[in-house]
Each structure stands twice: as C-alpha cells, then as structure tokens.
Structure 1
Amino acid sequence: MGREVELEFRNMVLSQSQSLYHRYMKNWYWFIVALIALFSAFLFSSPYAAYSLYAFLLLVGLAHFSSVAWLSGLDCTRELSRTIVRQGDSIDISVTVENSRGWPIPWIFLEDLFPKHCSCRGDATRLAVLMPGQSVTINYRLTFPKRGYHRVGPMVMESGDLFGLQRRFRTGKQQDYVSVLPTVAYIDTFNVASKRPQGPVKSTSSIFEDPSLLSGVREYERGDPLNRIHWKSSARTGELFTKIFDPTAVQGGTLILDLQGDSYVEERAEIRQELAITTASSIAYLLQMSGEQVGMITNGLDAVEEARWEVESHQVISKEEVEDSVVGESESDRLRPLLVPTLRSPVQAQQIIENLARIVPGRGLDCAQLILEEYRGLPRDATLLPVVPYMNEGLAMMLGEMKLSGFAVTVFFIADSKGFEEAAGLLAQRNIHVFHIQEERDLHELSPQKI
C-alpha cells in the first residue's frame, strides 16, 4: 500500500512538472526564436533586420508584461440572495470585480462559473474597460432544478495586450455553495405510533410507564411510592393497593438511511438514491408535524465537509488550463456516521432535511455496521425506520436482533422489484413489516391500516 501511494505521488509530481515545463516553453519559445534571428542579422550585417527584430522584441515584451500586470490587480467578491432553496427555486447573484491597481485595463472579459444543469436568466459574462479604482458588477439569476450542494464560481477573468499577441486567464479566489432541499412528499395517513386504526401499539418491552394509561391495581408492596397508591380501592377494601400503568406507546422514529455508494450498483443508482432521500425527508417532516420525536443516522457524507469556499487564484495562458486549474471539492476521509439526534423539536425535521440536501454517497460502513456502531445511542422509545436499497441475511438478522431487544422496526425498501420478494421473505421470518417504495407516489399511499 505504501509503495502504491509513493508511485501515485511521484506520478502526480511528474505530471505537474511536465505541465509547468510545457507552459514555460510555450511562453518563451518565440523569445528564443527572435533572439536567434537577431543574432543572424548581426552575423550577416543586416541593420534593418536587426532594427525590426529590436522593435519586435520590445513589442512582445510589452505585450507579455502588460497582460500579466493587468490581471494581477483584480479583486472579486460575490453575493448570493439565498444559500438554501427548494428544487426549482431561483436566487439572485451579484459579482463585483474591482481594479485595485494604479493602471487601467483596456479590456477584460469576465465569466462567472455555475453548474451546467442550472438555467441562467441574465448574463453571467461581461466585457468591460476598467480604469484605476473602477469596478464592474455582473447580475444574473440561477434556477436550481436538482437537490444537492452546488458550487457557484469561481470567476474567470480574461485579458490581454493591445496588440492581440497574448491572452491570459485568471481565476478568482471565492467559491460559494447553494443547498437545494430534497422533495418532501406529504404523507397524510402514515403514523408510526399507531399500527392499527383502533389505537397505539404498545412497546414490546416495558421501557417506561405512562401515568395516563392505568391498567389496574395490585396489592401494596414495601417500597412502593405513596403517589402510586390507589386511594379509592384502598379505602373501599381497607387494604393498600398500588396502581399499575401500561408502558408508553412507541412514539416517533429514528431514520436509518443507507447511502453507501456500494449499495447502489445498478444503472438507476442515482434515481434510487434520490428516492431514498425523498422517503427519509418526507417521514421526518410527517413525524415533526405529528408532534413526535424524530432523528436520523446515515452512512452518507455531508458535502459541506468537502467544500472549499476560498481557493488559490491561478493565472494561465489558455482556456483549457483554466478548466484544469479550477479547484473542485476536497475528498472527505470521515467514516463516522452522520447523526441528527432523535428529539422532539419544532426545527428537527428542517435540520434533517437540510442535512439531506447536502448528503452524497459515502464510502464507509454498510447498513448493518451502521446500526451496530450507533446501537447504544438509539432511543428505545422510537421506531427504527431503515431506508434501504437492498436486503441480505446479515442485515435482516441485525434488524431481527434489534426487534428482539425491544425496538419497533419498520423497513422502507427502495425501488428494486426483483430484490423486494427476497427482502419481504427475510423480514417476514422476523415479523418485520416492509414497505416497497418504487416511486414518490407510493409515499402518499401509506396508511396505518397497512402497517
């Protein structure tokens, strides 16, 4: 493994060295040719040729240094009207470029980069002349059709000399990001706290008792608190009796979203991932609107951990090099699950949905390992709601163990007709109900009677 890393590092250094070498040679090739021609003019005693070459070298030198200087004194700032939007929403973007040096820039072409799938209203490009201290502003509107964490920027600035001999490009330092929230399907009938229309399901193990659910009385035993004595029965019989309460119904749920990249291997992987995210966000919204607790754990990655808001500015001599020099996102090495604690809060669903807006497939734990990793922190009074794209013996066994240990479990199986029959069979052996979510409209058809 160490040898492979060393070879990869050497190849990267060699590639960068070759790129710098070619760039350097491309920049100075014509200088070398001109010097050879000048030497030949002196050798053959041709003063007119020598004067012409002097003028050419002066012209080329001025072109080179002016094109470098004009791009070196530019400051770029970007403002976004919003950074969190719904799918299909638009934001206004304003980018200002200022010439902070003491010399004018005869011409400059500006282009602000944005995702290709976004539609642009207005012009994200501008051709301008900038005097010392002058600034130019580009205003445009972007519409975001897809969920995700989308980068806007950097600004690409192009200028050159007055003679048209050289063009140079420079990228700005600032990059911004916009979170596009996932779709929320409004599930009017789904209720994880009620498995039958007659009323709530009682927990399989007595986690804690609900003082509002009186089930009977028993004889008093030493150590029973006074506030649990049933005074009416005690007065009627002349002996002390203690109240017995039913355990509380399971309320709310903890979403377990499997978003490991290896779990989605088919051609429709991206569609199934988005459906899984829609399912999780819809259930989170429903639980909060029902006044119940909700939380989430997932093996996906938060794209904000890979984002870069400020990057190094690059000055290059070709448009191809500009595209290569635009710095993308870094690579996160986090393996720990992404966790939103299970709580009852008026902003809990919003927090989960905002996390789901930024989530990307992870490379760490699979779903069974994820549950095992977070087992100790899972609240027993909340239903486990795994949202998974596959089911195997290991995962079914893990969910069965969770059910035997006192958890209520309801599985949401994502868009796999062939795999659903096997999944339903494995889970039926463990008395675990499973929903098959093949498309978004299936979420609207959920009801307590079917759970």
Structure 2
Amino acid sequence: MFSRGQILALALLFVLSIAFRLGPLVILTLLLLLSAALAWCWKAAVLSHISYNQELSQHHAFPDDMVELAIQIVNHKLLPITALHVQEHATIGLDWSGAQRAQDWRPTSQTLQRVTSLGAYESVRWRYQLRCPHRGTFRFGPTTLEAGDPFGFTLRQLQLAKRAELVVYPRVLPLAELGLASGRPLGDSRSRHWLFTDPAHTAGARDYRFGDPLKSIHWPTTARRGSLQTRIYEPTMSLDLMVFLDLDTVQHAWEGRRSAAVERAISAAATVVQAGLAERYSAGISINGMLEFQSGLVNIPPSCSPAQLTQIFDALARVVPYALLPMPELLQQATATLPTGATVLVISVIAPNALQTSLLRIRDHGHPTIWLYLGEDSPPVVPGVQVQHAPSPAMPTSVDTPATSTGAS
C-alpha cells in the first residue's frame, strides 16, 4: 500500500524527471502514480453498494434439531471484487458439520472464514447445516468484510453490525423419567386440594362460631337477625401451578457445579410446565438465577395464555446455570405473592434442611406442595408434602471445580 509520504516522493520524482528530461523515469513514476490513484479509487468503492444477509430456517429449535444458516452476499455495482474475505463471528456450541472456523479472541465465540470473488452485479450464497446439541442462545454476527484493489496495494474493512439469533429450548424429558404419570402428571392434587373459598363472592350467612375471623362477620344479616352471623363464601377451584427451579447442585459454593445435573433440572422444569399447561393449569416459573445479559431473578407469574409456554421455554433457554439466591430464601420471599390455593412444585438436586423447612411453611399456607427431587440419594420425608424422587442413572457425579485463573468462564 502506498503511504502519503511515498506518493509525495513519487510526485516530486515525476516533476524532477520531467525537468531533467529523463524519459524512462517519467514513464515509470507516471505509471506508479496512476496505479496509486487507481488503487485508492478502487479501495474507496470496492465495499460500497454491497449487501450481506443472514437467514436462519428457524429461530427456535430443540436439542438435536437441524437448522440451516444461509449467507448471501450481493455486489450491486459494476466494479468487481477480486478477493472478498468474510469473517462471520458466531457463538460456540453448534455443530457446523466440518465448516472451516477459527477460535475468536472471545472464549465463547468463533469465526467462520470464507474467501470469494464477485463480478459486476453478481451474488453468492452459502448454506450451512447446523445441529443443535444443547439448549442456549447462539448468535451470528457481527461480520467483517475485507477487500482491496487487484494490485494488492490497498485494503479496506467493513464492519456489519447485523446479527441473527437462534434460541435452542431445553430438552423435554419423558414424564416417566421424572416418575410422573402421563395422564395426570401432578397426581390427584387437583381433586384433593384445589377446592377453597373465594372471599370475593358471598353465598349466604350462618350463625357465628367461636374462632371465626371478625372480617368474615356479615353485619347487615347480624343486625337483621339480632345475632352474629358469619359469611359463607362460594367455593371455587384454583388451577394455578407455580414451579420453583433450584439451580444449586452442591451444598457449598466451593464444591463447584455439576453441569449435567443443572441442565437436567432445567429440562425437568420445561417438562413439568408443558405438562401443566396441557392439563389446563395456569403455569408460572420462578428461578433463583438470572437470564444472560440481564439482571434480577427470573419470575414469570402463572398464566394460561397461548404464549406462556413459549415465554417460559425462552427463559429456560437463556437462563445462566448459576444460583444467585438460595432456594429457601426465594421460597420465603415468594410465599406472600402466591395465588390463593396455587400448587407449588419445587425442583431441586440437593436437599438442605432449610429447603425442607420452606416446603413445610408453604404447605402451612394452604398450598398443595410437590417436591421433585432429582438427587441420587433418597430424599427425606416431609410431612404433608408430595415428594417425587427422579434420579438419573446415567447422571455423572463429578463437579466442575471453580476456575482459579482470571477470564471468562
């Protein structure tokens, strides 16, 4: 590439060669100056009027699904591009079926590299078949385009901020693997526990009994009959299901993290929510972790909206597999905000004493309580709590020890 100083030197040499009538040197310096001018003009225009598009065959998938990524580059001008270097940055974790890639400077990213040439008004399209091995969010972009003049004197880069995103949902497990019946995955809790009184609707009144709360006294009827009368509330049925997902997999933070165990817990949560919505529950989820690039714990209130399953699956795909708050503290905070009579289902891999105490407290607040315990050891018996033990025979027992060096994990 010609520098500014080299061009000035060539211009000075060209003038001197003319002044001293050095014919061959005049021709040589003139050719070099024309080449420099042509290279500069080519560099200025080579990456103009060019379009770059990323297209995914689908933006949501499940583990083991195949997704096609199509990349199209179009040259919308008469000037050709002799050598176009394309660097597509992408999140690691997908199976690219042998496509040429290089490690990026970021530990969670890699670079897809291609070189092509484009003639006047020509386009090129590449297709990649991607396999999704596990849940997560996978981003494509930004992209770097690099091209120059045919002589190799100049080089220009263009950064494209356009991105595409692929969200891979958690794997949905068979209900039998979690010890849940396919017909009624939550057992008979609906028929035994869901009937309660609705204070918003009064069906009548009866004589006051010792222990009735004062707020239940029906004063107009009391005045009319001359004796204390208590409201009789209409019975109603609650179909609210609140799932609490515990991301802790070891009793102490210094023990590390069991990746396979936490991923199975996330899959179990997705399975239970899907089954609950299929049984016409209003399902919600609360997680003692956060979504990537966001702050705050994950909390999606119960709903039977058609978009609820997608919203919860999207959150489970994006959740960072690290607990920010012990599950007993989360349950204590959430108890006051739970819908009246809602069924609470807690999913955990560990069984600390504080968690058992929290389960008893929720039960005492009138909530049907289910504990889906995924640990390998036998779970403790918690009176009044339906304990479902679903260990995985193939679950690795090793843990990921905390990193001792700096850098991204």
* TM-score tier (shorter): 0.5 to 0.7
Corresponding residue to 2:246 among 258, 263, 277: 258
**Does residue 162 of structure 1 match 2:115?**
no
**Does residue 439 of structure 1 match 2:400?**
no
Which residue of structure 1 lines up, in the alignment, with residue 365 of structure 2? 405
Please report the TM-score for the alignment, with normalisation by the length of structure 1. 0.61
Please report the TM-score for the alignment, with normalisation by the length of structure 2. 0.66
Q: Which amino acid aligns with 1:271?
A: A
Q: Structure 1 or 2: larger strand share?
A: 2
Corresponding residue to 1:149 among 121, 128, 137: 137
Q: Which amino acid aligns with 2:315?
A: N
Corresponding residue to 1:178 among 138, 148, 166: 166
* Shift in Å, 1:36: 8.0
Q: Aligned runs of 1:292-311 on 2, under 5 Å? A: 292-303=281-292
Q: Aligned runs of 1:19-168 on 2, under 5 Å? A: 59=35, 62-63=38-39, 66-101=42-77, 103-110=79-86, 112-120=88-96, 125=114, 127-131=116-120, 133-168=121-156
Q: Structure 1 or 2: larger helix share?
A: 1
Which residue of structure 1 lines up, in the alignment, with residue 175 of structure 2? 187
The size of the alignment, in residue pairs, is 344
* Shift in Å, 1:295: 1.5
* Shift in Å, 1:167: 4.2
* Shift in Å, 1:389: 4.0
Would you say the 8 A contact 2:370–2:387 is kept in 1?
A: yes
Q: Tell me: CA distance 1:346–1:39, structure 2 relative to 1, closer, same or farther (3 Å).
A: closer
* Shift in Å, 1:221: 4.0
Would you say the 8 A contact 1:149–1:177 is kept in 2?
A: yes
- Offset from partner CA, 1:10-35 (integer Å, 9 cap, x none): xxxxxxxxxxxxxxxxx88x655787
Rounded to whole Å, the distance in 2 between the matches of 1:350 and 1:127 is 39
Rounded to whole Å, the distance in 2 between the matches of 1:353 and 1:286 is 13
Gaps of 5+ in 1: 1-26, 210-218, 226-243, 304-330, 443-451
Corresponding residue to 2:280 among 259, 270, 291: 291
Rounded to whole Å, the distance in 1 between the matches of 2:140 and 2:253 is 28
* Shift in Å, 1:62: 4.5
The 3-state SS of whatever aligns with 1:352 is: helix
* Shift in Å, 1:176: 0.7
Rounded to whole Å, the distance in 2 between the matches of 1:411 and 1:57 is 80
* Shift in Å, 1:269: 3.2
Relative contact order (C-alpha < 8 Å, sep 6+): which is higher?
1
The 3-state SS of whatever aligns with 2:116 is: strand
Give the share of equivalent positions with the same residue, in percent. Answer: 21
Q: Which amino acid aligns with 2:340?
A: R
Aligned CA RMSD, in angstroms, stands at 4.5
Gaps of 5+ in 2: 100-111, 199-204, 209-215, 219-231, 396-409
Corresponding residue to 1:201 among 192, 195, 201: 192
Q: Which amino acid aligns with 2:50?
A: L
- Offset from partner CA, 1:268-291 (integer Å, 9 cap, x none): 533222111111011112222333
Rounded to whole Å, the distance in 1 between the matches of 2:235 and 2:187 is 13
Rounded to whole Å, the distance in 1 between the matches of 2:302 and 2:187 is 15
Would you say the 8 A contact 2:142–2:160 is kept in 1?
A: yes
Rounded to whole Å, the distance in 2 between the matches of 1:435 and 1:181 is 24
